[in-house]
Amino acid sequence: MSETGRRLLEAATAAFAAKGFHGTTTRDIATGAGVTPGAVYVHHRSKEELLFQISRHGHEATLDLLVSTLEQAPDDPVEQLRALMFEFARWEAVHHTTARIVNYELQALSPEHLDEVVALRRDLRALVRDLVERGRAAGVFHVDDPGLTVVLLISLCIDITRWFSDDGGWSAEEVAAGVSQAALRLVGVAPQS
């Protein structure tokens, strides 16, 4: 991607986070990138394509992070859940501007782009579901409804973008530690102090 294309993506991220997709104009994006409005269409087909690129990249980065975290964690569902939730929550806090767009602007995607992003979300959900099922089968997680537990675990992380701010009083690491402890309680494991 060209330098101008990258600047346009960064400007679109900032504008979508501040004004929402529908409240953002291509002029807002161009101004943020320091180019003319016509340059948006030279580098990207549409404002929606910019949103799709941001959303796809955010989902892929999150999924890659979670897969890598599980591969590096000990082969113990409790430790894997602790590590997975810590890294997931920290990513959402550190990247809260992008994550807000990734998680809450999906309705603005075209049907084709939405299908691609939903498939990535399904993969993420399946990854967490597999971990919950393994912990349940091992007798270390005590949950009645694994599906609901998975939704709750994921929500603990993605909802961070609704309230986290860089000057909000908690660091990304503090939030991540709190979320990982809450996740363990959610599956019936007494967290270590």
Task: Give me the CATH number covering residue 3.
Answer: 1.10.10.60
Do 32 and 60 reside in the same domain of the chain?
Answer: no
Do 8 and 87 reside in the same domain of the chain?
Answer: no
Which residue in the block uniquely carries the two structure tokens 């939903």?
A: 118
Do 99 and 135 reside in the same domain of the chain?
Answer: yes
What is the C-alpha separation between 180 and 89, in angstroms, rounded?
Answer: 8
With both helix axes pointing from N to C terminus, report the angle between 47-72 and 3-19 in degrees, rounded to the nearest 10: 90
> Residue 147 domain-assigned?
yes
Do 35 and 85 reside in the same domain of the chain?
Answer: no
Do 10 and 97 reside in the same domain of the chain?
Answer: no
Give the model's pLDDT for residue 178.
Answer: 96
What is the arithmetic mean of pLDDT over 10-39?
91
Q: What is the mean pLDDT of the chain?
A: 93
| Tens-digit pLDDT profile for residues 133-152 | 999 999 999 999 999 999 99
Give the model's pLDDT for residue 191.
Answer: 63
> Residue 192 domain-assigned?
no
What pTM does this model have?
A: 0.90
Residue 187 has pLDDT above 70, yes or no: yes
Q: Which domain holds residue 38?
A: 1-44
Do 62 and 35 reside in the same domain of the chain?
Answer: no
What is the arithmetic mean of pLDDT over 47-64?
94
Do 81 and 10 reside in the same domain of the chain?
Answer: no
Q: How confident is the model at residue 89 (pLDDT cuts 50, 70, 90)?
A: very high
* The total number of structural domains that make up the chain: 2
Instruction: Pick left, alpha or beta for residue 20 (phi over 0 → left; psi -120 to 50 → alpha; otherwise beta).
Output: left
The larger pLDDT score, comparing residue 132 to residue 46, is at 132
Q: How confident is the model at residue 5 (pLDDT cuts 50, 70, 90)?
A: confident
What is the C-alpha separation between 117 and 94, in angstroms, rounded?
Answer: 21
Residue 192 has pLDDT above 80, yes or no: no
> Residue 100 domain-assigned?
yes
CATH no. for residue 54? 1.10.357.10
Last residue of a domain, one of 29, 44, 59: 44
Give the model's pLDDT for residue 43.
Answer: 84
Nearest alpha-carbon partner for 57 in 96, 94, 89, 98: 98
Do 72 and 153 reside in the same domain of the chain?
Answer: yes
Nearest alpha-carbon partner for 164 in 99, 109, 108, 106: 99
- Across 16-20, 31-35, 175-179, the highest mean pLDDT is recorded for 175-179
In sequence order, what are the residues at sequence separation of 6 or more whose Cβ sits closer than 8 angstroms to the Cβ of residue 9? 1, 50, 53, 54
Residue 104 has pLDDT above 70, yes or no: yes
Residue 131 has pLDDT above 70, yes or no: yes
Do 103 and 128 reside in the same domain of the chain?
Answer: yes
Do 108 and 155 reside in the same domain of the chain?
Answer: yes
Residue 193 has pLDDT above 60, yes or no: no
Do 83 and 113 reside in the same domain of the chain?
Answer: yes
Do 7 and 79 reside in the same domain of the chain?
Answer: no
